[in-house]
Amino acid sequence: MSAVNADVAVEPVNRRSTALRVMPARLTSVAAFLTLAAFYALEHPYAGILGDAKIYMGRALADLDAGGVGRDLMYRLDGQSQFSLFTPAARWLVAHLQLAAGSLVIAALGGVLWFASAFAFARQAFAGRALIVAAVIFAAPAVYGPDRLLTYAEMLAEPRPYAEAITLFALTAYLSRRTILSFALLAVAAALHPIMALAGVAAIGLALSVEDRRWLIAAGVACVIFIVAVAMDAPVAGRLRVLIDPTWLAMLKNRNAYLFPGFYDADDLILPIVRGATILLAASYAEGRLRTILITGLVASALGIALAWFAGGEAPSLLLLQMQTWRMWWLTGFLAAFSLGYCAVRLGQGAARDKFVLAMLALAWTMSSQGTIVLAALVAAIFVAVPKFSSGVTITPKIAKYTWFMLAAAVVLPAGVMLVRWMDYPATEGFEPEFTKRLNALVGDTVLLGAVALAAFRLPATFARVPQVVALAGAACLAVLAARLWYDPDSYAREIARARVQLDLARMTPRDGEILWLKGSFEPWAWLRRPHWLGDIQGAGIVFSRDLAMIYKERAEALASAGLDNGALVRRYAKLPKQWLMTPAPEGVRKICARADAPAYIVAPIARETALDPVLRAKIWTAPALRVEMSAVGDKVDTAQIQTYAVMDCATNR
């Protein structure tokens, strides 16, 4: 038996087997598990302090430096960190390990926990084929929400992966009929990130109510307690009856449009439709609690989307918008990925008709970003899968085989062309780019198709003759390679994570006060230990603090009026042209520096050859690492190289 076709969930045991016969089976199990772990690491590389990890790692810096980063308006007016046990844990780690090591450890531990929880769920739900089903889960797209902006199973230093993983453990406990344990796990997940845990609470709650209507009594009691808490204006619960005022609501719709499902484009619905259909197909084969949790997970997520749509369009309740119930769709994403692996195993063992259905389903998944072709494939899969629709349609083994060949060509050939172009792309001197993350973007669909095919058809029998020791050695080598490729920050992200105060820049900015770092976010915190006057990252939490939202709005509009921003700080998803490099005009700088709440200094990224107006009295600073930003401009990609900055003192520019 090959290491790939083996499954660590079931190790054959024969009491009459000798130790020499048992050992190969154990070697196979170890090799298979190492291969899966290596695959997960390659699919989820660590790219540094990116995205929302900046918020949580910045919070740790702020807690450890109250007189510096702690003065940042984002943390002075923080409305969310106190609801998570992650905050003190991250603070402790950063204090003892420093920022780079602390963020890496947090991300790695979260990744290990997520890997274990996903495998545990697959093993409990589909014993005997857990390894390959888990591989499909890891290969499937993890995006949810609009514009493929957000993902589950993030390899980042933030609480969401932890809450997701513990929620998956709770679902596993539910499948094994350990209800009390599932409740305890959900409580832990909620203590880390209540928004992400909400999906598990709803799915398990609905499942228990379907099984035994007496659980509806408990749900009713909980609703009564909540209504009383709302009526008494209790903390948090009282926010339900607080409606967000029009000014704040308009700001949220402009800056954080992802909060409002009513703004989602038609293309944003394609992958959810594919996922929903896949779950329903898997549920038609599943039995017992697995079938129940698949359906209730889908229903819970759909209700979350509907509630978020209602809150955004009809009743902008503060609590409902802060709950972000649309995030419940992450659980449907996971259940759909599991369902794809589940269907691959079931349909791959069936007749030609089943294999054809699986090919159409795989086409819908691998082409989910390509538009209406996905829906055509999905309709074909459903039509053939339902006997009463297609009883007169004959699918021969030859048709099924050639359908898979054409599918492979449609997915693999374009990926190969893009890969060749990427390999020929000239390297940027002084900049070490992400490798694994970008490679995944190019070959992700091919890898997913390969995982589905492997789940359906297994490896050829010749692989079963590979010696077990060789398989184990190969798996160990793959694990070492995956560990090396897992650490994948670019050179700029590595320098930011080191968070070393830049002494030359500090000498250029001796006066105390906020730093306006244009086109930056984490830089003032990491390199100067100073608060940011205004950065895009500060807008991420404005739904939790009206004061923060109003200051952010007023300052962003002031920057736009001064010509120092094109409006993207407020209209983040308006697809405005990116302007990374700047030539600050004296009149614009004076407008900002003349304000009563002016920053102490303005730092602007400029091209090396830029000739600044002498009136600015700007000093030129070179960053310790090159930053490269790529933006789509029509059919071309515009690359901006940023390493030179103009440092302007507001005391001399009023």
Same domain, 344 and 356: no
- Strand, coil or helix: what is 540? helix
Same domain, 384 and 506: no
Interior angle at CA 139, CA 137 and CA 141, nearest 5: 90
472 lies in a domain?
no
Q: What is the CA radius of gyration of the chain?
A: 27
Same domain, 371 and 254: no
Question: Domain total for the chain?
Answer: 3
Residue 650: Cβ within 10 Å count: 22
Same domain, 236 and 369: no
Q: Give the end of a domain, one of 289, 324, 348.
A: 348
Burial class, 444, CB count within 10 angstroms (exposed 0-12 / middle 13-18 / buried 19+): middle
pLDDT of the residue at 3: 42
99 lies in a domain?
no
Q: Where are the beta strands (DSSP E) in 420-532?
A: 515-517
How long a stretch of residues is the chain? 654
Same domain, 585 and 610: yes
Residues 276, 340: contact at Cβ < 8 Å? no
Helix spans in 286-435 (H) = 288-313, 318-323, 329-348, 352-366, 373-385, 387-390, 397-424
pLDDT of the residue at 14: 47
92 lies in a domain?
no
The residues with which 5 forms a beta bridge, in sequence order, are none
Same domain, 408 and 317: no
Distance, first Cα to last Cα, the chain: 76
Mean pLDDT, the chain cut into blocks of 10 residues (654 residues total): 43 43 66 94 96 95 95 92 92 95 97 98 93 96 88 96 98 97 97 96 96 92 94 93 95 93 88 94 95 97 95 93 95 97 94 94 88 84 85 87 93 89 71 89 93 90 78 92 96 95 97 96 96 95 95 97 94 83 95 97 95 95 93 72 96 94
- What phi, psi does 516 have (nearest 5°)? -90, 100
pLDDT of the residue at 426: 59
71 lies in a domain?
no
Same domain, 265 and 301: yes
Give me the residue label for tokens 């538009």: 371
Same domain, 323 and 363: no
pLDDT of the residue at 85: 95
The whole domain housing 235 covers 140-348
E strand or H helix that includes residue 108: helix 86-125
Which tokens belong to 314?
């009809």
132 lies in a domain?
no
Q: Give the end of a domain, one of 348, 379, 406.
A: 348
What DSSP letter does each residue of 465-490 carry, written as one string? GS-HHHHHHHHHHHHHHHHHHHB---
Cα separation, 292 vs 215, in Å, equals 15
What DSSP letter does each residue of 233-297 carry, written as one string? T-TTGGGGGPBPPHHHHHHHHHH-GGG-GGG--GGGGHHHHHHHHHHHHHHHH--HHHHHHHHHH
Q: Give the end of a domain, one of 458, 491, 525.
A: 458
Same domain, 423 and 528: no
Cα separation, 97 vs 36, in Å, equals 30
Residue 149: Cβ within 10 Å count: 13
Cα separation, 83 vs 541, in Å, equals 13
15 lies in a domain?
no
What DSSP letter does each residue of 357-390 carry, written as one string? HHHHHHHHHHTTTS-THHHHHHHHHHHHHSHHHH
Helices (H) and strands (E) in the chain, counts: 25, 6
Same domain, 315 and 367: no
Summarised one tens digit per residue, pLDDT across range 291-321 is 999 999 999 999 999 999 999 988 999 999 9
Same domain, 167 and 227: yes
Cα separation, 572 vs 605, in Å, equals 20
Same domain, 332 and 404: no
| Own/partner pairs, 267-270, CB within 8 angstroms, 24+ separation | 267/369, 267/371, 268/145, 268/146, 268/147, 270/368, 270/369, 270/371, 270/374, 270/375
- What phi, psi does 245 have (nearest 5°)? -70, 160
pLDDT of the residue at 425: 64
Question: Crossing angle for the helix pair 19-43 and 86-125, nearest 10 degrees?
Answer: 130
pLDDT of the residue at 283: 96
134 lies in a domain?
no
E strand or H helix that includes residue 576: none
Summarised one tens digit per residue, pLDDT across range 218-241 is 999 999 999 999 999 999 999 999
135 lies in a domain?
no
Residues 629, 642: contact at Cβ < 8 Å? yes
Predicted TM-score of the model (pTM): 0.93
